A and B are shown apart, each in its own frame.
Chain A
């Protein structure tokens, strides 16, 4: 094990308010998890490490890495800034490198002046020897010790942020994967020896040529041939140099094209998400209009002619009204009868014109009551009664309009038309409310979709403003890069053809020279020149061979990691293919089973590709060299599902001697221990010893805005 981080402590650093003791994380070999929700210090923790190693931090406002000195005030705890006039902000990392123990403290002293803050930086590095802390004072020595945490050439691979993972492995530039392979193989010295060989070969050639000229100065034919040879060699050399320039230009254009390709893809994405956002906004506006219309109509529905909502629940009142009305009519009739009976008790019992006058006349003449079928002899009481009935005055209709019967009758007539609709009013209202609720849900759904589209737009580098003219510039630059690539390829091809022709002429020239100038001294110089040229080729080829072997081994290793990481995924992720380009750079693409390039894979797979390469690089052991350094990653799993996270935790301990992972995918704010099911599962595996390492959860002391937030850690497993 080269390096193990033993602990990291913070002092008034972002929301890590307080002294080092209050904000200490002790780590060990294996996986060290810092589980935290958004805004609970994951990226800030990562920033602390970035600050020590690169003097940079990620500015979440600017969404980019910035030089730390320009961001000191943002890095300081808001609470410390608000409450104190003099305080220290900093980070302390203790680590071991084999048997050596080191402590690195980077501290900024803040002192409040009238209208600003004065800052003073200090870096204390201690090496512990025989239990004694020895301060390191020399700046160069301090720098060397910091690089022991993670060496510069591996920093890109051992220190990564999930969000920018796609850009991490620079696969197209000379400083990218190829330089990492050179570092992995430790072939920096062989590369330098190649440069020496080239110089020695040139010297041997010059020596040989000079000797030949010197000896044959009087021979015009030989001098002419030598002159011709020198001309050819010069042209070949200068064309070789041109080819190198073309290759560099080709490499730059290819890199630019690749970068622009990503931009173009983002530009297309931006266009897609801008359009989507706009469409969603239109849909939201329409839905809101509909909802408003429904809500406005509630008033008119209260007084609707067919089913006025105001009558909701009044069906019993109508029945009760009908009954009351019926009773009222009966009571009214009774009242009238009683009143009239008092005036004319008998007659009143007969209905008007019944029996009719002719029937009564007949009954008188026949002296018989046809109503009761009894005899009524003339002038008897019965005959007189019949006569009295016939003589009774005609009743005039009582038109007493003050008994409300017609008023209530009118009400009943009106209300009866609602008798069928009133019981359905509740149903109507429920339907109406459901429609409004559905519209509300639909609006919320669209708002969420719009928010996602907005985030995607921002992720693709877009702004909320609709116009983005730089996309057009990207397209134009892309076309130019493509043309440059074509031209440079053509230039290289032409130059190589020329060199071939000149080499052919050179060979003929040398054969002729050898034939007519067989001087033994010259032969020795020629042999020496040829041998030096061969030695130059031998070293160059050896370098290429070692590089290719490492590349092959990396490809195998990366594919193994890729397969392990993607295990259990439903869709196949293809196979990683490493290929060396004409300019010496290395490109990695994903190929399908038919060896065709696999495009259109999701971000998750793309990140897995990057992570596999990183894992392969980190876990590579070339010769007796080991590359065991801490792997530190902020939010590496933001695009991955549980399956991948599980796979990662399964294989990571075999790849990284030590990893420190800041993660939110195991966090559940509603759980007592702030862990979701996956978090509990991982913790249990750690407790059982299945996964070696430590487990921390960040919590906030009390709710506050971002500047006054205070984060503390809970250690679940050490």
Chain B
């Protein structure tokens, strides 16, 4: 699966709506290239991009922390 496919597949999880209250349309509009206003979506992207760029776990974790700080 490509990173884009993984992203789209993961966004289909009910947890985004049930736990994080993200609407279906927001989820449909979410894109890999455009920054989302939902931290959880940005975390998901950071993990996928980190994996795709062969970043080590520590670096991915620090990136996520930075993302969270910006929210």
Contacts and interface: CB of A to CB of B under 8 A. Distances in A.
B1 A535 contact: no
A542 B15 CA distance: 11
A542 B12 contact: yes
A538 B15 CA distance: 7
Contacts of A541: 13, 15
Interface string B56-67: 010011001100
Which of B10, B16, B40 has the most CB atoms of chain A within a 10 A radius of its CB? B10
Contacts of B65: 528
B30 interface: no
Contact of B9 (A192, A199, A532, A546): A546
Tell me the dominant secondary structure on chain B's binding face.
Answer: helix
A507 to B, nearest CB: 16
Interface string B8-50: 0110110110011000000000000000000110011001101
A204 B40 CA distance: 14
Interface string A468-509: 000000000000000000000000000000000000000000
Contact of A200 (B15, B20, B47): B47
B1 A196 contact: no
Interface stretch (A182-190, A590-598, A602-610): A182-190
Contact of B64 (A200, A538, A539): A200
B13 A542 contact: yes
Contact of B51 (A185, A192, A538, A545): A192
A670 B44 CA distance: 70
Contacts of B9: 190, 542, 545-546
B1 to A, nearest CB: 5
A200 B57 contact: yes
B44 A200 contact: no
Interface in A165-201: 185-187, 189-190, 192-193, 196-197, 199-200
Contacts of A546: 9
A221 to B, nearest CB: 29
Contacts of A196: 47, 50-51, 57, 60
B69 to A, nearest CB: 9
Nearest to A542: B10
Nearest to A622: B1
B60 A623 contact: no
A388 interface: no
A553 to B, nearest CB: 15
A527 to B, nearest CB: 9
A692 B28 CA distance: 45
Nearest to B40: A531
Contacts of A539: 10, 47
Given A196-B51, A200-B57, A186 B12 contact: no
Contacts of A542: 6, 9-10, 12-13
A203 interface: yes
Interface string A504-544: 00000000000000000000000010011011011101100
Contacts of B20: 534
A207 to B, nearest CB: 8
Contacts of A197: 47
Contacts of A538: 10, 13, 15-16, 44
Contacts of A532: 43, 64
Contacts of A537: 15
A620 to B, nearest CB: 15
Contact of A190 (B6, B15, B57, B61): B6
Contacts of A623: 1, 5
Contacts of B40: 531, 534-535
A200 B61 contact: yes
A535 B47 contact: yes
Nearest to A531: B40
B47 A193 contact: yes
B48 A193 contact: yes
B64 A190 contact: no
A192 B48 CA distance: 10
A692 to B, nearest CB: 33
Given A199-B57, A623-B1, A528 B68 contact: yes
A541 B16 CA distance: 12
A534 B15 contact: yes
B11 to A, nearest CB: 9
A170 B60 CA distance: 37
A532 B64 CA distance: 10
Nearest to B43: A535
A618 B12 CA distance: 28
A186 B57 contact: no
Contacts of B47: 193, 196-197, 200, 535, 539
A196 B1 CA distance: 17
A528 B19 CA distance: 14
Interface of A: 185-187, 189-190, 192-193, 196-197, 199-200, 203-204, 528, 531-532, 534-535, 537-539, 541-542, 545-546, 623
25 contacts: A186-B1, A189-B1, A189-B6, A189-B51, A190-B6, A193-B6, A193-B47, A193-B48, A196-B47, A196-B50, A200-B57, A200-B64, A528-B68, A531-B40, A532-B64, A538-B10, A538-B13, A538-B15, A539-B10, A539-B47, A542-B6, A542-B9, A542-B10, A545-B13, A623-B5
Given A190-B6, A531-B40, 6 more contacts: A190-B9, A531-B39, A538-B13, A541-B15, A542-B6, A623-B5
Query: Which 8 residue pairs are nearest across A and B when measured between Cβ atoms?
Result: A538-B13, A542-B10, A186-B1, A199-B57, A193-B51, A203-B61, A538-B15, A200-B61
